[in-house]
Amino acid sequence: MDASETPFLKKSRFTEFFIRENALDESGFQEWTFYPGMLFNAMDKWWGNRGKRDKPHEGLDLCFYKDRKDRIFCFDEKMKIPALYDGIVVKMVDDFMGKSVFVEHRLPDSNHRRFFMIYGHTNPLPHLHDGRIVKEGEIIAALARPGKPQINIPPHLHLSLAWIFNKISYENLNWKTMGNLKELKWVDPLQVISRHSL
């Protein structure tokens, strides 16, 4: 499977929703800011003592943003997380900072291929559960704060997007197995998330 087989994805309004729901327009949100290790396919860690990752970063970490005066701000655990598109919650699993929420997004013209997003390092809202339908822009979680004091990492949102090209049960997807599945194609979240405010 190569890039030509990956269906087209429309830009989402995720950044717009994130700014609005967290009142970041009041601080003059201008754009997301990234250390190199936060980006898709990065091999470096951006937290703690840095160093190398065991495998390429399968997503994007959102933690910092710049305002119109070029000041950089960091998230706190109060940040609310909106859904990228309409979808259905298919799984929630523990990760090293909180929970990862898997949402399958039903997109037109996907030719029966499944597209899903993982919202990692979160505290899901109490009403969120497997099978729940969510709407684009709906708040599904807040950021989690690391529970272990030895983890020297600020609260941040990990986003992973992927296409599944064959029948795979979501029950069999977890952070240990996903990187080895040939039926799964990771997508750079910056293809669908606007880097700047509108």
Confidence label for 4 from pLDDT (cuts 50, 70 and 90)? very low
Task: Quickly tell me which residue has 């091999």 as its tokens.
Answer: 43
pTM: 0.89
Looking at the domain assignment, is residue 143 inside a domain? yes
Question: What is the residue range of 8's domain?
Answer: 3-191
Looking at the domain assignment, is residue 77 inside a domain? yes
Looking at the domain assignment, is residue 127 inside a domain? yes
Q: What is the pLDDT of residues 117-133, one digit of tens each?
A: 999 999 999 999 999 99
The CATH number covering residue 150 comes to 2.70.70.10
Residue 186, both tokens? 């990771």
Backbone phi and psi for residue 61, each to the nearest 5 degrees, phi listed first: -105, 125
Looking at the domain assignment, is residue 110 inside a domain? yes
Q: How far apart are CA 120 and CA 125, in angstroms?
A: 13
Looking at the domain assignment, is residue 98 inside a domain? yes
Q: What is the pLDDT of residues 111-167, one digit of tens each?
A: 667 889 999 999 999 999 999 999 999 999 999 976 665 467 888 999 999 988 777
Higher pLDDT, 17 or 164: 17
Looking at the domain assignment, is residue 197 inside a domain? no
What per-residue confidence (pLDDT) applies to 2?
41
Higher pLDDT, 181 or 5: 181
Q: What is the pLDDT of residues 24-79, one digit of tens each?
A: 988 789 999 998 899 999 999 887 777 888 888 999 999 999 999 999 999 888 89
Looking at the domain assignment, is residue 196 inside a domain? no
- How many domains are there within the chain? 1
Looking at the domain assignment, is residue 198 inside a domain? no
Average pLDDT over residues 12-18: 94
144 alpha-carbon distance from chain centroid: 13
DSSP strand E in the chain: where?
Answer: 29-33, 60-62, 64-67, 72-74, 80-82, 87-94, 99-105, 114-124, 133-134, 139-143, 157-164, 184-187
Backbone phi and psi for residue 25, each to the nearest 5 degrees, phi listed first: -65, -25
